[in-house]
Structure 1
Amino acid sequence: MSSVPKTGDFLGHPKGLFLLFGTEMWERFGYYGMRAILVLYLVALTQDGGFGWTNADALSLYGTFTMAVYVTPLLGGWLADNVLGQRKAIIIGGFLMAAGHFIMGIPHSMVAGHEENVFYLGLALLCCGNGLFKPNISTMVGDLYADGDKRRDGAFTIFYMGINLGGALGPLVAGYIASVAGWQAGFITAGVGMIISVILQMTLSQKYLGDIGRVPAAKLSQAMSASNTKEPLSKEEKDRIKVIFTMSVFSIIFWMGFEQAGGLMNIFANDYTNRMLMGFEVPASWFQSLNSIFIIVFAPIVAMIWLKLDKREPNSPVKFAIALIFLALGFLTMMMALITEGGSGDSMQISMMWLVLFYLFHTLGELCLSPIGLSMVSKLAPLRLASMLMGIWFLCTAVANKIAGVVGSFIGEGEAAVENAMGIFIGLGATALLSAAIMYFLSDKLVSWMHGAEGTHEPATQEHVLTEELEISAAKQ
């Protein structure tokens, strides 16, 4: 690990942590601000500055885009490890993402006849930039601390709070500007956030990070890897890999439902929700901030619950089953909204509180999933296969995002949309409940395949458990 410059601490942590906090917060501000208005922009009428696409076409593209967000980091991580180094990858990725935001912000009148081609170029740059940025910045957080430094858990807690702060502010600011100044202004606002992120990294990284992230990781580990010899997998390692594959496949069910947030639920908030509050019409994009806000509020509470349960704390597969139950409760909430609010077709206008409950249940499910995912792979994967198995986890998340777009696209148009939405909510809720039951009955077998890894705990402090609850945020990078 490269030495950290002696620039002093802030709140008990190296100042470089807060540089990375700001870099990631502004990048997430841009990404989630753009994502919150993307589908709404695609379905908006051309006279309102949009493309006038059908719901099905918009949601299908949204699914493809969010799938690419999880696939491109596999290549971006390799380039950073072998060619660029993390710092250079972050800066190049940041510039590409900023360019993507600004290109999407070009008014249609300036590119008449080529609007969609310009839009696709912007999305492509966002995907490529994300691939370079996403997998690299969080690893630099760990490099700020020596092995065994007890501050590391707290550092990731602070860093993940930055992710969610950006995820909360982006939709609020970019969504509001898009609602009053036009879609392109919203995309430009997202680009400004990305530029701030890059400027922070370019101007302050040498002072506060020193040489961290400058040299590709492959060069640093070359001497060690030369002495490594490949050995066949043991039975214990094979069993643990079975757990990773099983949980990864089941994760598709969770993320398939959860990722309706930016697509189907965005359209539902825009078209079928009464958003008037004391004479002010709440922008539909603002609901995209609820997940990040709820994580900030409820992560400490969930952490306290796990601490209180102590030895009765559910194992990881059971927590996964609980997450799927919360997912189902979210869709049950929307089913109740459609049944009790009255109206049909274009006249349907449900209360905003139903959407708030929907996002609350799904966030609680997300927090129950936090001991799984990245933490599970890091605990169970054989060291020589860790990167590949982490890639499989992200690949399953990518597949889930694409399926989410396809499922959401069945909402259709006009008067049939509400009836179709009810069918989607029933289908996703039932699938989540069935998957929860299967996961619960498989839990004992999965724990036995972990061969003791599930029972290996860090000291049970609130800070440590809070870090686990926020670990789910790493998947948002």
Structure 2
Amino acid sequence: MSSVADKTWFGQPRGLTILFLTNMWELFSYYGMRTLLVYYMTKQLLFAQEKASFIYGAYTAMAYFTPILGGAIADRWLGKRNAVILGGSIMAFGHFVMAFEPMFYVALATIALGNGLFLPSLPSQINDLYAADDPRRGRAYNVYYVGLNIGGFMAPLVCGTLGEVYGWHYGFGAAGIGMFIGLLIYVFGRRYLPPEPLRGVARAVDAQEERGNHRKVWLLLLGVGIAATIFRGAYEQVGNTLPLLIDTGVDRVVAGFTIPMTWFQSLNPLLVISMTPLLLLHWRRRAEAGHETAPALRMAIGALIVAGAYVLLAAVTAVAGDTRIGWLWLVAFFVILTLGELYILPTGLGLFARLAPPRLGATTVASWFLAVFSGSLLAGLVGTLWSKASHSGFFLLLAGLAVVAAALLWRLDRPIRALR
């Protein structure tokens, strides 16, 4: 590990760049398809809104459930590198299949299956790039989060524009190309990645011996996962019901030009890229002054900030009534939402990776994505209320979910700090 970690780009191990470039293109493919999914179902397949929201939630939920099985397979048999390559290849195939309308459900299932192998095996390699006492390790997940959000920023502009202007299938095809590019980067950059740990029977014995010692860790991570599930029920509306508001409830005309509805999906990743360096500087200065915020408390603050974003939308839509709200209000919403997201999501991923029992890195990171699964499923169920409630009432409900998540995370802060 030391020889790999000694070679740096931008002050971080070169392997971190390879990992986030790979995930950047994977996220390009995922967000590219996600940007189009609700519109494709409601405008092309003519699904009712309730059905489209439920399918969206069920798909995103399954995409984050399969990593539980995929992480165990990678840890015990395939290895992380083989799992990334195999999973990415399956996903690329699924994205291309999306271009064929009769294969819609098959394509969704294929992407979810490939994601199960790919998703936990990639970020779980970050921790192995650093020594245990390396101070860069804590910030690595935010740096990684910036890199992959570049893909999230490009996806609506490329896939969204192709799908909205030229046809939905062109957008889905572009998503598949992005996944293929990510695979090439990973294959040719493998020499900068940490070596594969041993796996097999010995690993299973070690895990069995350590199970009792890590029971408290697993229980606390379960609590964090429940809080993340509740939070995701609100947060995931960004790709579910919020596009419906953008389509019919936002005035998108600027100087005679109508902003494409899919472009707004680029605001969130663009703000992640621009806001993260300032936030990392702020956190570093607080740490140097002896005021570093503990992970669970930082996550609770993030959930409260996201609640504030939804309160803003609730107030604006209540005042607007049946008229469209100005697009600048939507920009303000994304600024607040993204700030909260940066407090909670990279911190949660890093917390799971740092507390992972030895030789179970992919499995533990997959447990974080299990919260994304359950949260996405909850988001799909919550999204079915969009057509049954007023816009302001719906957004207040989302704010309430985020507040509940914040309260639970605040309660978990002290026992988690006792582990460190």
How high is the TM-score relative to the length of structure 1?
0.77
CA distance 1:186–1:388, change in 2 (3 Å): closer
Q: Secondary structure at the match of 1:260?
A: helix
CA shift digits 1:114-167 (9 cap, x unpaired): x3x411111111111111211112234444556666665666554332201111
How does 1:228-239 map onto structure 2 within 5 Å? 230=209, 233=212, 239=216
The answer on 1:332 being equivalent to 2:298 is no
Q: 1:13 to 1:266 in 2, by over 3 A?
A: same
Residue 84 of structure 2 corresponds to residue 90 of structure 1: yes
- Give the counterpart letter for 1:338 in structure 2: T
Matched-pair contact (CA < 8 Å) for 2:153–2:267: yes
* Residues 157-187 of structure 1, C-alpha deviations (whole Å, 9 max, x = no match): 5433220111111111111111210111111
The letter for the 1-side match of 2:418 is: G
Call closer, same or farther: CA 1:224–1:30 in 2, change over 3 Å.
closer
User: Quick check: 2:75–2:362 contact (8 Å CA) kept in 1?
Assistant: no
**Alpha-carbon distance between aligned partners in 2 of 1:360 and 1:385, rounded to the nearest angstrom:** 36
Q: Work out the CA distance in 1 between the residues paired with 2:207 and 2:46.
A: 57
Corresponding residue SS for 1:334: helix
Aligned residue in 1 for 2:273: 296
Q: Aligned partners of 2:227, 2:5: CA distance in 1, in Å?
A: 43
Contact 1:43 1:55 in 2 (8 A): yes
Work out whether 1:424 is the aligned partner of 2:373: no
Query: Alpha carbons of 1:425 and 1:97: their partners in 2 closer, same or farther (altered >3 Å)?
Result: same
Match status 1:402 vs 2:387: no
Matched, 1:54 2:48: yes
Q: Which has the larger radius of gyration?
A: 1
Identical-pair percentage: 34
Equivalent residue in structure 2 for 1:450, among 385, 395, 416: 416
**Residue 218 in structure 1 maps to residue 199 in structure 2:** yes
Amino acid at match of 1:262: G
Q: Which residues in structure 2 correspond to 1:25-44 (within 5 Å)?
A: 25-44=24-43
Distance (Å, rounded) in 1 between the aligned partners of 2:348 and 2:243: 26
Deviates more, 1:271-280 or 1:153-162: 153-162
- For 1:377-396, what aligned pairs fall within 5 Å after superposition? 377-380=352-355, 383=358, 390-396=365-371
Per mean C-alpha deviation after superposition, the further-off stretch among 181-190 and 375-384 is 375-384
Counterpart of 2:57 (choices 63, 79, 87) is 63
Name the amino acid aligned to 2:157. L
Give distance in 1, aligned partners of 2:356 and 2:9: 35
Question: 1:330 Cα deviation (Å)?
Answer: 1.4
CA-CA distance at 1:280 after TM superposition? 2.3
The 1:307–1:87 alpha-carbon spacing in structure 2 relative to 1, beyond 3 Å, is closer
Letter in 1 for 2:391: A
Which residue does the alignment assign to 1:468?
none
Distance verdict in 2 for CA 1:291–1:139, change over 3 Å: same
Q: Indicate yes or no: 2:146 matched with 1:161.
A: yes
Residue-pair matches, total = 418
Alpha-carbon distance between aligned partners in 2 of 1:305 and 1:375, rounded to the nearest angstrom: 18
Check 1:24–1:242 CA distance in 2 against 1; reply closer, same or farther (3 A cut): closer
Q: CA 1:167–1:407 in 2, change beyond 3 Å: closer, same or farther?
A: same
Counterpart position of 2:168: 183
Partner of 1:375: 350
Instruction: Tell me which moved more, 273-282 or 187-196.
Output: 273-282
Is 1:318 matched with 2:297? yes
One-letter code aligned to 1:218: R
SS in 2 for 1:410: coil
Report the TM-score when normalising by structure 2: 0.87
* Conserved 8 A contact 1:68-1:398: yes
Amino acid at match of 2:392: M
Q: CA deviation at 1:19?
A: 3.5
Contact 1:67–1:399 (CA under 8 A) maintained in structure 2 = yes
Counterpart pick for 1:275 among 245, 252, 262: 252
8 A contact 1:408–1:424 mirrored in 2: no
Which residue does the alignment assign to 1:363? 338
Is the 1:73–1:134 contact (alpha carbons within 8 Å) kept by the matching residues of 2? yes
Deviations 1:338-369 (A, max 9, x none): 12224x2xxx3211122222222222222222
| 2:238 aligned with 1:244 | no
Q: What displacement does 1:392 show?
A: 4.1
Structure 1: stretches of 5+ with no match in the other structure:
45-49, 107-114, 457-477
